[in-house]
Structure 1
Amino acid sequence: MFDFDATVLARIQFAFTISFHIIFPAITIGLATYLAVLEGLWLKTANQVYQQLYQFWSKIFAINFGMGVVSGIVMAYQFGTHWSAFSAFAGSVTGPLLTYEVLTAFFLEAGFLGVMLFGQQKVGRNLHFFATCMVATGTIISTFWILASNSWMQTPQGFEIVNNRVIPVDWFQIVFNPSFPYRLAHMTVAAFISSAFFVGASAAWHLLKGNDTPAIRKMLSMAMWMALIVAPLQAVIGDFHGLNTLEYQPVKVAAMEGHWRNEGDKPTPLILFAIPDMDAEKNHFSLEIPGLASLILKHDLNKQVPALTEYPAEDRPNVLLVFWSFRVMVGLGLLMIFAGLWSAYLRRKDKLYSNKHFLRFVLVLDPAGLIATLAGWFTTELGRQPWVIQGLMRTQDAVSSHSVNHLSISLGIFIVSYCGIFGVGYSYMMRLIRKGPDIAAKSH
């Protein structure tokens, strides 16, 4: 299939399934917290608008949660089917971490989800609010364990290798590996941003259609407050994450920057635009700002950033993909920061709900958080290549012994099945959003 070998096809299949999967947790993490806040505000203020929003968004949450569970199970099975060598080598670390996620997070979510979705008229208000909070807590715990496992693959520690197997020796070091705190914060905030623009774009669509109700206005207001707070915060977290990556995975940062070589003692420029050429080891059509990469990554104009040519060619990731996926993430992040600041300006002018240019801009940014999240994951995972576990196991040594035909057929089946199944779920979710909460009670 397109002259790809088995390793590339296995990687494409895993990338396809995880790309589908990650969009659902990214929404459910943020929506679960949003629902807890809505119910808490309703209990405190008795304002029925909060209850209307809770009932509306709990339906959207349920759809995303269900699709996230289904796509997650399929993705997890690939560790055994397509990456059996990886599982045999590192399963004693990754297996328990994923088990802890099921035992703590998934059981917590599943145990209280029924009460949250169907028990509002059957249990007391405080118990129902507790169930909502437990579901929201479960989504964060799930993120904790998944990121612990993935971060260990980026910056492994707390183990020894015996008989070509990874043996855990210090679980605290394994879980709290050097990149874990930054990646956990980065992913959690990314989920909040994705949900904020998902909610905000839904409200903007209704306002542009003339559905100007108290519930719709509250949706937009809360979403834009969240965007104003967390989008700039994400930029700060990203800076710390970048410094951590520079320390432990410098070749990834070099690829993100498209930086091939240092010249003398000159500070490293920031490359805004380029087309990296891995064969020629240079960039085409490069647009640079002198010295800015040194200032951002080293916080010192007298220090240089490591260059790609300092590392063997076989240890470099795909520079073109890493370079541009990073810029997609950063570019969308800047647009979302701008949207938050614009909303604050319009709020002061009392035009937040009536400025059509702003509402259209928010509507266009509907998928921005999810696309930025995916671009960030691509940057992280592609930037680690050619390693599946940084410095320990190469990706080509982790794949199972399957034929190209087998993987081509399974990939095709996944593409058709996912587009069909999740397409139906997405269509139903969009139909609910178009209906909206309490659109009959127009405000004047």
Structure 2
Amino acid sequence: MELDPLVLSRIQFAFVVCFHAIFPVFTIGLASTIAGFEALHFKTQNPIWQKLSKFWIQVFAVVFGIGVVSGIVMSFQFGTNWSNFSYATANFLGPVLSYEVVTAFFLEAAFLGVLLFGREKVPQGVHLFAAIMVATGTFISSFWILAANSLMQTPQGLELVNGMYYVTSWTESLFTPSFGYRFAHMALASFLTASCVVAGVSAWFVLQKREFEANRKALSVALWFLLILAPIQALVGDFHGLNTLKHQPIKVAAMEGNWDTGNGVPLLLFAIPDKEAQKNHFELKIPGLASYVLTHDWEGEVPGLKDVPIEEQPPVFTVFWSFRVMVLMGLLMIAFGLWGLVLRKGGRYYQSNAFLQGLRFMSISPFLAVLSGWIVTEAGRAPWLIYGQMTHAQGLTPSITGGMALFTLIGYIIVYALVFSAGVYYLLKVFKGGIEKANKPHEMSEVERPARPFSAAHVAIDGEE
């Protein structure tokens, strides 16, 4: 069997991106959560907020480390597997990725040291400032990365000359038609991820009656964020969908499993899309709802996949079901936010066993939503690497073979499995220790304890002892 380097390279990049994506989306939201805990402690001097900050800083440090390690590989892949793409877009991607390192990563790295080790060494206000700077750095990083990805989705501000793109307008190339919606959608996803994880872990501690008051407060804050942000995310997602309908109609057709352009298109709750047969099997649908959701008109026109040749259609089954997983997770977040609001009266939100157990599952839901969302975004763009301008095949490294791609894919899977296992191991240790261990006074070992200065007096005293 002949190994296809294009298919294997796409699988490899998808694997690396999906593995990496779950860590930044968590650390972006968690950094802001930690900054919030630090601000509350600075304002109220309530030690509970400091306890929470100390615990979640430990979690942040582990996840941030895994994210950095897993992200390094992505830049190498541009050169090894996608050299034609790297060459063509070097005038844009080169500066953008450099700006991300200079303006974001350096900022995060510098102040992360203060955040992790400077609590007893700097004034409280400086420590709070460090937390804010780390949170700011994560958002600056996401700005550059999403700007680069948005250009691949809705390209503008570039001119292709002799196989190389030249920037004609940095403003247009950075702020593409889809960038604002995508940045807002990702920022809210980050906050929701942190909120769900904090809620799930706090619920677990509450069930165990560990540091009850601190975890009850953390749970309360997380539920307020879930209640407010989940509906806002749905609204932003609607605007994002309308923008995608305008600029990437075939992606929307795949999301809806719609083959023929038409009016009053039904919303498919269940279907098995068949790209080869160009139709769906076992449809369960609500008449006209897809048209209403996408155009806000029950008789609005929805594009069909058959508008383009089959070779220009994305993998419909994957996009169709990934979109529904993302939506389902979003609806569950809204439901749990409302459930928490109902249980607020009388403080039942930390007394209901069913609710707390449900929140433990919900700590996984945002990661499923993020992964499925990225699959929709990237697979829905296929076969285009730069939408409408460069295909995956055109961006592939000409000299790469199927064997080379398979070898590196297996290598990445093994290395990432080791990194993930180590990360999970240390995260479990942090969770097992809980807030109690995170706030336990550190006792210096003999190696860490500074030696007493040598003097004759010390010799005399030690001799008497």
Structure 1 counterpart of 2:364: 367
Q: 1:427, 1:257 → 2: CA distance?
A: 40
The residue type paired with residue 399 of structure 1 is L
Structure 2 counterpart of 1:172: 171
Give the SS at the match of 2:436: coil
Q: 1:212, 1:390 → 2: CA distance?
A: 51
Correspondence for 2:307 among 307, 310, 328: 310
Give the SS at the match of 1:272: strand
Higher CA-based Rg: 2
Structure 1 counterpart of 2:427: 429
Structure 1 segment 185-196 matched on structure 2, within 5 A: 185-196=184-195
Give the SS at the match of 1:384: coil
Give the SS at the match of 2:89: helix
CA RMSD of aligned residues (A): 1.4
Q: 2:280, 2:360 → 1: CA distance?
A: 35
Q: 1:31 to 1:274 in 2, by over 3 A?
A: same
Matched-pair contact (CA < 8 Å) for 1:13–1:411: yes
Give the SS at the match of 1:284: strand
Shift of 1:80: 0.7
Structure 1 counterpart of 2:196: 197
Matched-pair contact (CA < 8 Å) for 1:213–1:439: no
Structure 1 counterpart of 2:127: 128
Structure 1 counterpart of 2:213: 214
Correspondence for 1:413 among 411, 416, 426: 411
* Structure 2: runs of 5 or more not aligned: 440-465
Structure 1 counterpart of 2:337: 340
Alignment of 1:271 with 2:268, yes or no, is yes
* Structure 1: runs of 5 or more not aligned: none
**Equivalent residues, number:** 438
Shift of 1:3: 5.6
Structure 2 counterpart of 1:86: 85
Greater displacement, 269-278 / 417-426: 417-426
Under a length normalisation based on structure 2, what TM-score does the superposition of the two structures give?
A: 0.92
The residue type paired with residue 246 of structure 1 is L
Shift of 1:434: 2.4
Q: 1:302, 1:288 → 2: CA distance?
A: 16
Give the SS at the match of 1:115: helix
Matched-pair contact (CA < 8 Å) for 2:223–2:340: yes
The residue type paired with residue 403 of structure 1 is T
The residue type paired with residue 87 of structure 1 is S
Q: 1:348, 1:254 → 2: CA distance?
A: 44
Matched-pair contact (CA < 8 Å) for 1:201–1:366: yes
Correspondence for 1:350 among 347, 351, 354: 347
Matched-pair contact (CA < 8 Å) for 2:205–2:212: no
Q: Could you report, residue by residue, the CA deviation over 1:265-308 in whole angstroms, capped at 9, with x for unpaired residues?
A: x4111111100000111100101111011111011122210111
Shift of 1:134: 0.5
The residue type paired with residue 186 of structure 1 is H
Structure 1 segment 72-83 matched on structure 2, within 5 A: 72-83=71-82
Q: Could you report, residue by residue, the CA deviation over 1:151-182 in whole angstroms, capped at 9, with x for unpaired residues?
A: 00000000111111100010000000000000
Correspondence for 1:377 among 370, 374, 377: 374
Q: 1:411 to 1:113 in 2, by over 3 A?
A: same
The residue type paired with residue 7 of structure 1 is L
Question: Percent same amino acid among aligned pairs?
Answer: 50
Q: 1:369, 1:20 → 2: CA distance?
A: 14
Matched-pair contact (CA < 8 Å) for 1:212–1:439: no
Matched-pair contact (CA < 8 Å) for 2:2–2:402: no
Structure 1 counterpart of 2:147: 148
Structure 2 counterpart of 1:300: 297
Q: 2:228, 2:25 → 1: CA distance?
A: 18
Give the SS at the match of 2:337: helix
Q: 2:239, 2:167 → 1: CA distance?
A: 28
Structure 1 counterpart of 2:316: 319
Shift of 1:90: 1.1
Shift of 1:194: 0.9
Q: Could you report, residue by residue, the CA deviation over 1:398-419 in whole angstroms, capped at 9, with x for unpaired residues?
A: 1112111111111111111111
Shift of 1:211: 2.4
Q: 2:438, 2:304 → 1: CA distance?
A: 60
Shift of 1:209: 2.4
Shift of 1:24: 1.0
Shift of 1:438: 3.1
Shift of 1:57: 0.5
The residue type paired with residue 259 of structure 1 is N
Q: 2:3, 2:361 → 1: CA distance?
A: 36
The residue type paired with residue 433 of structure 1 is F
Q: 1:395, 1:4 → 2: CA distance?
A: 16
Structure 1 counterpart of 2:49: 50
Shift of 1:125: 1.0
Structure 2 counterpart of 1:391: 388
The residue type paired with residue 332 of structure 2 is L
Q: Could you report, residue by residue, the CA deviation over 1:119-158 in whole angstroms, capped at 9, with x for unpaired residues?
A: 1111111111111101100000001000000000000000
Give the SS at the match of 2:243: helix
Q: 1:425, 1:187 → 2: CA distance?
A: 24
Give the SS at the match of 1:123: coil
Give the SS at the match of 2:159: strand
Structure 1 counterpart of 2:60: 61
